[in-house]
Amino acid sequence: MIDILAYDKANPLLFNTGLFLILFAIFIGIYQACRKWPRVKMAFVILFSLYFYYKSSAECCFILMGVCVSDYALGRWMGIASRSAQRWIIALNVVINLGMLVYFKYFNLLFDTFASITGTNFDALDIILPAGISFFTFRSISYMVDIYRGQMLPCRNFLDYCFFLTFFPPLLAGPVVRAKDMLPQIEARPQATRAHVSEGLFLIILGLIKKVIVADYISGNFVDRIFENPSLYTGLENVFGAFGFTLQLYCDFSGYSDMAIGLALLLGYRFKDNFNAPFKAQNPTEFWKRWHISLSSWLMDYLYIPLGGNRKGKHRQRLNLMTTMLLGGLWHGASWMYVLWGGYHGALLVGHKALKSKGWLPERGAWVRPAGIMLTLVLVVIGFTFFRAPSVQTITDMYTAIFTNFHPEVLPQFIKGYALVVAIIVIAFALHFLPGHWLGRLRDSYGRLHWAFQAVILAIVIFIVIQARQSSLVPFIYLQY
């Protein structure tokens, strides 16, 4: 039993594991038992969150606690400092957070790149990347900047701030929750209502289906094989692999977000949606208003706008867009492939705005909307091949197969060999394009059921997930970011 509860690098405590289900059931019982003692309940959640983080990153939980102490102290100092001193405090906070990111996440990449340019040797250091560091450092920076902008007051209670920064549902892979949205909820000491619980359970069910039944299945049974060696497959299979990975990434990440938001609702806390049917976007600009909303809005508010946004002319706006997307790509990981992906999307955004400003984009006609959606989806899928591929050579092999070895005649054989994979991809995309209010109606219908029926549906989904899951644990993709 002690071995199960101890840190195990190969078996982190994730939402889609049986251990988490058992521990969360115990946790929620104790949480409810402490409802008459708010401070005790808060301390208990903080301790559980730190244990949850320990199961993913071992002693790195002390780094998380160090950030809590640093943020709280700097925030209180910010509240009494002069305007000029506040700028230095923010600079110190940014240096601390970005310094950690550079060391833990980018040190080996930067020195390996420098060694390649100079022709010298570099032995990569064995640096353990703290899980979720990109997410909690962004929350830390936004907290200090929002105080400086006068959008919120410094947190006066250390436990409240620890609760905000360590809260386990969004800790490892988002959403990027901002202090100005969550601290008021923490101070209000919320209690989960029946509506909260029903909606939370519905989102958890939806997230489990997306993650295990869609993302994990098509990944292990098809997508990974294509990207491991695309030259072994026809162009047709590579196209399906590219679309399959796009769907896998969406279901994996939005599934995590659904579960994180659902778990928070079970405790009485509400986060903003992180995805809004992104493949329905009619252009690249709209796509980034629908995809990973908490990150794209963070980059907009704390990077793009401070760089000047669109206030300093069209040329500066395009430069700001490209800079934001390049840094947003690099944020995803220590690989130049992510930078290429970010630069690709930066070029799409710049190109879309340039065409729109010249009036070259059609706005009327029955064909405009579906054509815009299909073109945007194809462009997004092309971009995600850069996101998934380990090297430029993989991209070269993939597109060489697509343009020189397509072989559409193998389609019947391909469908027969990968019948379930093709069915999941087609059905999942089809469901994605259904009217958005249909999902809302399904959620409301679930919420109107008696709690016993809700529990039965949850149990059935968990049983199906257990039967469908891979033999080994499949971590969420965004845990590495």
Q: Which of 332, 407, 432, 450 is the catalytic position?
A: 332
Query: Residue 58 is encoded by which pair of tokens?
Result: 């071992």
Question: Do residues 239 and 233 lie in contact, with contact meaning Cβ atoms separated by under 8 Å?
Answer: no
The average pLDDT across 314-324 equals 93
Q: Please report which confidence band the pLDDT of residue 1 belongs to, taking 50, 70 and 90 as the band edges.
A: low
Q: For residue 154, give the DSSP letter.
A: P
* 112 and 130 Cβ atoms separated by less than 8 Å: no
Q: 305 pLDDT exceeds 90?
A: yes
Mean pLDDT of the chain: 93
Distance CA 265, CA 46 (A): 17
139-186 pLDDT per residue, tens? 999 999 999 999 999 999 999 999 999 999 999 988 999 999 999 999
Long-range Cβ contact pairs of 23-32 (< 8 A, separation 24 or more): 24/263, 28/266, 31/267
Radius of gyration of the chain (CA): 23
Kindly report the number of other CB atoms within 10 A of residue 70's CB atom: 15
- In this prediction, residue 155 carries a pLDDT of 96
Residue 292 designated active-site: no
Quote the percentage of the chain above a pLDDT of 70: 99
Cα–Cα distance for residue pair 192/446, rounded to 1 Å? 17
Q: Does residue 2 carry a pLDDT above 70?
A: no
Could you report the per-residue pLDDT of 223-257, keeping only the tens digit for each?
999 999 999 999 999 999 999 999 999 999 999 99
pTM of the full predicted structure?
0.95
Kindly state the DSSP code that residue 449 receives in the 8-state scheme.
S
29: which 2 tokens? 């019982």
Helix (H, G, I), strand (E, B) or coil at 241: helix
Residues 112, 116, 120, 126, Cα dihedral to 10°:
20
Work out the end-to-end distance of the chain between its first and last CA atoms, rounded to an integer number of angstroms: 30
Q: Who contacts 475 (Cβ-Cβ below 8 Å, separation ≥6)?
A: 12, 14
Average pLDDT over residues 197-222: 95
Query: Exposed, middle or buried by CB within 10 Å (0-12, 13-18, 19+), for 170?
Result: buried
| pLDDT recorded at residue 406 | 96
Domain boundaries, the chain: 2-189, 195-283+361-480
Residues 6+ apart with CB under 8 A from 275: 250, 253, 254, 257, 290, 291, 292, 293
* Structural tokens at position 202: 């519905």
Q: For 338-368, what is each residue's pLDDT tens digit? A: 999 999 999 999 999 999 988 888 877 788 8
Mean pLDDT of 304-333: 92
8 Å CB contact between 392 and 339: no
Question: Residue 465 corresponds to which tokens in the numbers above?
Answer: 């997930």
